[in-house]
């Protein structure tokens, strides 16, 4: 398939940051609906921020072990949203929380950082979550979310039938390496960044957003 790498900027909390990400060329904007996160927004705030998005920029709502009725209610307020499951959700949980397929979703895979851990079974994980629009790869750290950590991209096996989203510790300085390492292994590759384009948690650095997207386009 095509070689263009789509970009998601995640963890946005402020209108100005949403506008800056759109202006820089982001394909998707992520809103974290997980209260313990420093980037948390309420469903109402997510709806207000998503209303700023033009056509063809996709809002993504991130949930962690959220009951299905709450996921469906939040998504109903954000037309066209993808949902992203970043907790311990099973395939059945994802199916229920998307209204049995009414909503498209991403499923996060937590990749171990310990070199002594057996290799992550990416192909098996993708088969378990075969209804997911894509599998998002993030570092496995305490709690949920990658904590701005990268994992060893070279240890991932090929998953030629999978759409993948690379996340976890990406920055303008390393995203090119991530893309060139993983793109040959999968059907399509997208990238997802949060802390790597921040001035502080939940506050984006507009210059770093531009640098990040420019690096992706060059890659």
Percent of the chain topping pLDDT 90: 83
> Nearest-5° angle of CA 216, CA 218, CA 219?
65
Q: In whole angstroms, what is the distance from residue 137 CA to residue 122 CA? A: 9
Model confidence at 1: pLDDT above 60: no
Q: Helix, strand or coil for residue 83?
A: strand
Helix (H) or strand (E) holding 97: helix 91-97
CATH number belonging to the domain at 6-218, selected among 3.90.199.10, 3.40.50.10070, 2.40.40.20, 3.20.20.70? 3.20.20.70
Determine the pLDDT at residue 186: 95
**Band of residue 141 on the pLDDT scale cut at 50, 70, 90:** low
Model confidence at 116: pLDDT above 60: yes
Determine the pLDDT at residue 145: 56
The widest CA-to-CA distance across the chain, in whole angstroms, is 45
The domain ranges of the chain are 6-218
Q: How many secondary structure helices (H) and strands (E) does the chain include?
A: 7, 10
Look up the pTM and report it: 0.94
Catalytic center residues: 10, 138
Rounded mean pLDDT, 97-118: 90
């Amino acid at each position: 398939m095509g070689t263009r790498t789509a970009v998601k900027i995640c963890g946005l909390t402020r209108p100005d940051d949403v506008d800056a990400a759109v202006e820089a060329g982001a394909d998707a904007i992520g809103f974290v609906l997980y209260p313990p996160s420093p980037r948390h927004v309420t469903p109402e705030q997510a709806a207000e921020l998503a209303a700023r998005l033009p056509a063809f920029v996709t809002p993504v709502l991130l949930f962690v072990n959220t009951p299905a009725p709450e996921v469906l209610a939040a998504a109903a307020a954000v037309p066209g949203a993808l949902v992203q499951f970043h907790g311990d959700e099973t395939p059945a949980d994802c199916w229920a929380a998307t209204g049995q397929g009414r909503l498209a979703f991403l499923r996060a895979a937590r990749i171990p950082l310990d070199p002594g851990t057996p290799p992550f079974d990416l192909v098996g994980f993708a088969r378990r979550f075969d209804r997911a629009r894509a599998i998002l790869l993030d570092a496995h750290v305490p709690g949920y979310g990658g904590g701005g950590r990268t994992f060893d991209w070279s240890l991932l096996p090929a998953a030629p039938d999978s759409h993948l989203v690379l996340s976890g510790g990406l920055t303008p300085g390393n995203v090119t390496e991530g893309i060139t390492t993983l793109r040959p292994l999968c059907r399509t590759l997208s990238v997802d960044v949060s802390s790597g384009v921040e001035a502080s948690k939940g506050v984006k650095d507009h210059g770093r957003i531009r640098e990040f997207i420019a690096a992706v386009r060059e890659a």
